[in-house]
Amino acid sequence: MLNIPSQSFPAPSSQQRVSPSGQSGRNKVALKPGHSLMDWIRFAKSGKDLTGLRGRLIEVTQDELQKHNKRDDCWTCIRGMVYNVTPYMDYHPGGEEELMKAAGKDGTDLFDQVHRWVNYESMLKECLVGRMATKAATPGKAIIPPPSLTGLAPPAPGPPPPTKDSRPRYDWFQTDATVHLVVYAKRKIPSSGCVTVDLKAGILRMEVLLGKLSYMMHLCLADEVEENISVHTAFSVGKIQLTIDKQTKGKWASLGQPLEFHNTFLCKKDRGLFYRDCTLVSKTEVNHNTHVFRLQFPRGTVMHVPVGKHVYLKALIEGTEIVRPYTPVDQNLVAVSPSSSHESDLHLMIKVYPDGVFSPYLNSLQIGENISISGPDGTFSLRHLRDVTHLYLLAAGTGFTPMARLISLALREIDTISRTKLLFFNKREEDILWRCQLDDLAANEERFQVEYVLSEPPGSWTGRKGRVDETVLSEFLIRPDGSRCYVCVCGPSAFTEQTTGLLKQLGFSEEECHAFQG
């Protein structure tokens, strides 16, 4: 997907990896045979002593942590908990160099740069040494009970809160049969979606994404309600109205009791991620190894993922909680979904890797089974497309997924964009995703153009051949006089890093580029 800083402790390779900034990212390294994520999970559960402390948990001073800063003796701290990551060194997809950046010190910031969402407690629980001492303590002092689920340091503070006058506010009114909750965002809100509502067992959780900040409503409602919600949004004036049906007619004395984060406006990362169980309702083949998985939200959930954002899927695989980010697509490239598909269903185009961990698990799900899905996340903002005249999309493989909705948005909703061009890199012709739809769109929409590049083309191929380089980009990225260009990049990490470097050489500024980390 997009944005690429240096990172630490990521889970091994998967498609559509996400990072939170627009910087260039690290390379993955080739892992030795037998050192995949699944191999790590099995090794961690083998019963071996991975901490060197024979099962003890200790309180660690700063001086003690700093002593363990070598390749063969590497401790690090994440949110107040200390782990011996020496055994994980050969399993780390970023290589030991990345892991050693946090050797003998607090690695929380490095971890949070990209993979705050990874459940490191589950992945590294057998490597837990103990808790950082909050004051001077005797090295090696045993602590009971185990602190794996408590005592975590609070997240790093985000930007200062907005002024009181700029904060959203809410109001509510009722009839005998319904309750209406109205949020005034005090700013325009994107038409591509920014509201997520979950209502279950009388608990209402509503989140409104507004740039880097998030406004939350979180209540235990005053009485029982039906779990069918209607959401009406006035985008231009920033007004959102929820309507909920009461189970029993009558007037409420209050809306309900406030819960954690109710009526607060905070940095999104301070919220954490909220998951709900969604049901797999269909799986449609796209090509020989890629499917569109259609997932239905539970009753009481309304969620529209904004263009350029992603969600996280979470599953317990062989006793370890694994999380992966995926970017939704629409059911078709630019078409209204047929009546057989509920308009709020989530469609995920996912390549199944036979030697992967998460995608084979997802592919093994039967229709009707559930998987946990988070709310929207990501840093892409539509404001970058204001006044853009030429939108260039550079995608490799499943890096096409965030581009699909961008194409539809540019053609249907942004009149200032006179040309949208996709340069799509693949190995073989049969790997090209939604090729027929892309070709049909290019034939019928003069504002859209697509070119394919194959690294392993057949003899009959007449299109572009090879890999991304300065020549192919300079020929593709034309800057007409008076134009304002914007370039989006998504693909495997090596592709994204190389491409963003080439864009810089070609004179594109950071403000003109957005890189979804692949």
Question: Which of 109-118, 253-262, 486-495 has the lowest average pLDDT?
Answer: 109-118
Of 73, 118, 77, which Cα lies nearest the Cα of 94?
Answer: 118
- What is residue 395's predicted lDDT score, i.e. its pLDDT? 97
Residue 336 has pLDDT above 70, yes or no: no
Cα distance between residue 269 and residue 272, in whole Å: 6
- What is residue 4's predicted lDDT score, i.e. its pLDDT? 29
Cα distance between residue 405 and residue 516, in whole Å: 14
- What is residue 91's predicted lDDT score, i.e. its pLDDT? 86
Q: What tens digit of pLDDT does each residue of 477-502 get? A: 999 999 999 999 999 988 999 999 99
Higher pLDDT, 76 or 92: 76
Residue 163 has pLDDT above 90, yes or no: no
Q: What tens digit of pLDDT does each residue of 115-148 get? A: 666 778 888 889 999 999 875 444 544 444 433 3
- What is residue 45's predicted lDDT score, i.e. its pLDDT? 84
Cα distance between residue 33 and residue 355, in whole Å: 12
Of 302, 242, 308, which Cα lies nearest the Cα of 278?
Answer: 302
Confidence of residue 287 (pLDDT cuts 50, 70, 90): very high
Confidence of residue 32 (pLDDT cuts 50, 70, 90): confident
Cα distance between residue 491 and residue 498, in whole Å: 11
Q: What percent of the chain has pLDDT over 90?
A: 60
User: Two tokens at 327?
Assistant: 């970017």
Distances from the Cα of 44 to the Cαs of 24, 58, 124, 194, 318, in angstroms? 32, 20, 8, 40, 11
Cα distance between residue 68 and residue 285, in whole Å: 50
Q: Which residue ranges form the domains of the chain, and what is each CATH number?
A: 1-156 (3.10.120.10), 164-270 (2.60.40.790), 275-374 (2.40.30.10), 382-516 (3.40.50.80)
Higher pLDDT, 487 or 112: 487
Strand pairing of 390-396 and 419-426? parallel
What is the average pLDDT score of the chain?
A: 85
Sheet holding 81-84, edge to edge: 58-60, 128-132, 81-84, 73-78, 69-70
- What is residue 339's predicted lDDT score, i.e. its pLDDT? 38
Which residues make Cβ contacts (< 8 Å) with residue 73, sequence separation at least 6? 86
Largest CA distance in the chain: 75
How many CB atoms are closer than 10 A to CB 272? 11
Segment (H or E) for 42: helix 37-44
